[in-house]
Amino acid sequence: TVKNSKFPRSYYRCTHKECNVKKQVQRSSKDDEIVV
């Protein structure tokens, strides 16, 4: 249920593509190993 709540929020906040890029960048900075 938490994911469902975040999904709609991201959609309204930024674009689908931009959200993905921003999320990936933030994750890379925090968990570079996990992303790689």
Give the pLDDT score at 36.
45
Name the nearest CA neighbour of 9 among 27, 23, 30, 28: 23
Contact 19, 11 (CB under 8 A): yes
The model's pTM is 0.18
pLDDT tens, 1-36? Answer: 445 455 555 444 555 555 555 555 555 555 556 544
Give the pLDDT score at 20.
55
